[in-house]
Structure 1
Amino acid sequence: MATKRKEFTGKHMAMVFVAGFGIVIAVNLVMASFAVSGFHGVVVANSYVASQKFNGWLDKAEESRALGWEVRPERRTDGRVVLSTAGVPTGATVTADLRRPIGAKDFASLTFAHDGEGRWLSNEAVAHGRWTMRLAIAAAGQDWAGESELK
C-alpha cells in the first residue's frame, strides 16, 4: 500500500523562516534586557585616559581597605541617607557623589552630619530610584573612599 507524501510548499518554508527568526529575535530581546538591567559600570568619556589611571585607583582602594573602616548606607523614607559605620574616627568629614548607574544623567552630592555612635545622616534628600554612591571620608589625616549601590 503506497502512502501519499505531503508536499513541502512555499507556505511551509515561510513558516520555518518566521519561526526561526522569531526565536532569534526573542532570545536577543531577553539577553539585551538582562545586559541592561545588570549593568553596574561607568561610562567614561575617554577609555584610554581612564585605563591609564586604573592602577592608581586600585592603589587607593587598597589603602582604603587597609584602614578597616566599614560603611553601610541605607535610604530613609524621607529620602535622606543614613550611613552606619564601624572604625571611622569621630570628627570625620563625610561626603558622597551620586549618579544613576545607566540611562538617566542624574547627579547629586551629599554632605553628612554625625548622628550618634557610628551613624551619619545626610543633610540632603535623594530622589527615589537606583543610584551609585561614591563615598569619601577624611579623618585624622587619612582618606577613605568607597562605592556602594543605593536602591
Structure 2
Amino acid sequence: MTGRPTEVKKFTGYHAAAIIVAFFAVVVCVNMVMARFALSTFSGTVVDNSYVASQKYNDWLAEARTQQAHGWTVSPALRKADKATITITTAASTPLQQATMTGIAEHPIGQADPFEISFTQASSGEFHSVEKLPAGRWKLKIIITQDGKDMRVVRDIW
C-alpha cells in the first residue's frame, strides 16, 4: 500500500439537477403508462346522465327481479372463429329452446362504431353470432326473447 489518500468526489449542483430530472422523468413515464392502460380498458362513462339514471333506478330494479324470475342463466361470451358464442340455460339446467337473441356490439372506449349483431341457435342450445366480430374487446348488449319473456344482458368478449 502506498500512503496516497483516496480522492473524494464532490456532490455538485449538476448531480442534484440530474437526480431531480431523472426522478421526474420516471414519474412522467409511469403516469403515461398508467393513463394508457386506463384509457384502453375503460371509457369512464357509466351513464350519460346520472340524474335521469337515478329517476329510472327503481324501474331497473323491478325489471331485474322479473328477469331473475325467468331462471335463465347466460354464460360468458366466448369467441369462436371470430364469432360470439353464448349459451343460455333454464332453471332446470337445460338449454333454452325456441328463443331469439339480438344485440348491439360496442367498442368499450368508442374506437369503432357500434353495430347490430344477430344470433342463430344451434341444436346444442348455443347461440352463435351471424356477423363476425373484429379483433379486440367488445361489449355485447343482448336481448333474449322467448314466449313473451325477455332478458337484457351485457357481456364482454375479448
Fold shared by both chains (TM-score > 0.5): yes
Q: Structure 2 residue aligned with 1:75, among 57, 60, 79?
A: 79
How far apart, in 1, do the equivalents of 2:8 and 2:119 lie? 79
User: Gaps (5+ residues) in structure 2?
Assistant: 1-5
Alpha-carbon distance in 1 for matches of 2:32, 2:146: 48
Deviation at 1:147, TM superposition (A): 0.9
The number of equivalent residue pairs is 149
Shift of 1:44: 4.6
Amino acid at match of 2:72: W
Higher strand share: 1
State the 1:133 CA deviation. Answer: 0.5
Question: Counterpart in 1 of 2:28?
Answer: 25
Cα contact 1:82–1:122 (8 A) shared by 2:
yes
Structure 1 residues 41 and 133, CA, compared in 2 at 3 Å: closer, same or farther?
Answer: farther
Cα distance between partner residues in 2 of 1:43 and 1:106:
18
Q: Look at both structures and tell me which one has the larger radius of gyration over its CA atoms.
A: 2
Question: Are 1:98 and 2:105 counterparts?
Answer: yes
Distance in 1 between residues matched to 2:43 and 2:66, nearest whole Å: 23
Rounded to whole Å, the distance in 2 between the matches of 1:41 and 1:23 is 26
User: Which residue of 134, 149, 155 corresponds with 1:142?
Assistant: 149
Aligned-residue identity in percent: 39
The root-mean-square deviation of aligned C-alpha atoms, in Å, is: 2.8
Q: Partners in 2 of 1:115 and 1:65 — Cα distance?
A: 24
CA change 1:20–1:31 in 2 (3 A) is: same
- Which secondary structure does the structure 1 equivalent of 2:108 belong to? coil
Matched-pair contact (CA < 8 Å) for 2:118–2:130:
yes
CA distance in 2, matches of 1:150, 1:142: 25
Q: CA deviation at 1:22?
A: 1.7
Q: 1:54 to 1:36 in 2, by over 3 A?
A: farther
TM-score normalized by the length of structure 2: 0.75
